[in-house]
Copies of this chain bind each other. A is one copy, B any other.
Amino acid sequence: MAKGSREVVTRNDVAQYAGVSTAVVSYVVNDGPRAVSPRTRDRVLEAIRVLGYRPNAAARALKVGSTRTFGLVMPDGGNPLYAELAKAVEKEAATRGYVVLQTNTDSDPAVEKRKISDLLARQVDGLILATPTGEPGATELAELNDSGIPVVALNRPVRGTTSICPEYRAGARLGVEHLIGHGHERIGLVMGIERSAWSPERELGWRDALVAAGLPEGPIARAEFSRQGGYDAGRQLLTTTNPPMPVKQAKVAKLLKATERPTAIFVSSDLQAVGVLRALHEAGLDVPGEMAVVAFDGTAESEFSWPPLSVVRQPLEAVAQKAVSRLLDEVDEPVEAFTYPTELVLRASCGCN
């Protein structure tokens, strides 16, 4: 049995063994489209069992034109946010009998293009784009469009494609408002480095909250969406603004406010927040006592940081569900934008508990 493994059982063998035609085998395997008498069905089932028959998905795909497969393109599956997103997508797809091909681009547009092409060649039934780095180029987009397969963009708006996102702006506002509720009046921001043209929604949300409360803008630090990036941003926020400003600069009141060390920071991603926390610890600052922190994302990692992070949690499951159902539904209005509400998860880093 260990080496006699080469025997590939086809639907022909089954038909022969059961003494029926291949059509009948097909009918019982697929429960249709024609009815089969219980007795023959049992014979076929038995044959399948005995021979260990397993339908060849490639053949089926060729015939029916569907692979029951989705492609998922993301920058880095090692990043917890994408890992969790991917898992949610896989889970949702699995409930519909679909399977997902996950690929990483390492944020390289050339790689992204290649991988998308490959996925298309593999006849995926739908493509999920979760690569925030840049929009696909013109040719790439055209290629996608006339490939005829449904595409959704996750967590970023893409022109000409239906997109599914968390409510970035409202979510960020929620987080900042919570900080304001704790009495903070100088709230800094750690943002990613936006390369694409679309508006940095989380930044807008932060500003929304500040403006609504009549508060000045705290300092902003921009860095990579990574733990290291957050660390750098955290240090930047602390060191460059810590010493009292020279008199001549202090004249400009607004500027002064903007450069004084904040008492709270809103961080636009978990990963960065973890880095910020490290910078804060190294500086010997008490969190949340001397510096409160709220982050966006809410991956599992945020729950066990020290102190545990208060976060604005992304609706990953909702987004994944929508992505899959959208891909399946073959809706004809091609472009639409869906957003899902975030959830404020209060832990220790903001000052609660």
Contact = CB atoms under 8 A, between A and B. Distances in A.
Interface of A: 1-2, 4-8, 52, 54-59, 61-62, 67, 69, 76-78, 80, 83-84, 86-87, 90-91, 94, 99-104, 115, 117-123, 142-143, 145-148, 227, 231, 274-275, 277-278, 281, 300-301, 303-308, 334
Contacts of A308: 278
B103 A101 contact: no
Contacts of A57: 121-123
Contact of A118 (B52, B77, B99, B104): B99
Nearest to A8: B148
A83 B94 contact: no
A210 to B, nearest CB: 28
A272 to B, nearest CB: 10
A145 B1 contact: yes
A57 B125 CA distance: 13
Contact of A148 (B6, B87, B277, B307): B6
Contacts of A52: 143, 146
Given A2-B145, A80-B301, A278-B304, 4 more contacts: A54-B117, A69-B122, A94-B103, A277-B304
B334 A306 contact: no
Contacts of A275: 304
Contacts of A104: 87, 90-91
A80 B270 CA distance: 14
B76 A227 contact: no
Contacts of A62: 56, 58-59, 62
A97 B274 CA distance: 36
A182 to B, nearest CB: 22
Nearest to A228: B304
A122 to B, nearest CB: 4
A63 B91 CA distance: 31
Contacts of A227: 300, 303-304
A103 B77 contact: no
A232 B102 CA distance: 34
Given A5-B148, A8-B148, A56-B123, A306 B304 contact: no
Most chain B CB atoms below 10 A, which of A118, A146, A278: A146
Contacts of A147: 5, 54
A46 B147 CA distance: 18
Contacts of A119: 99
A90 B67 contact: no
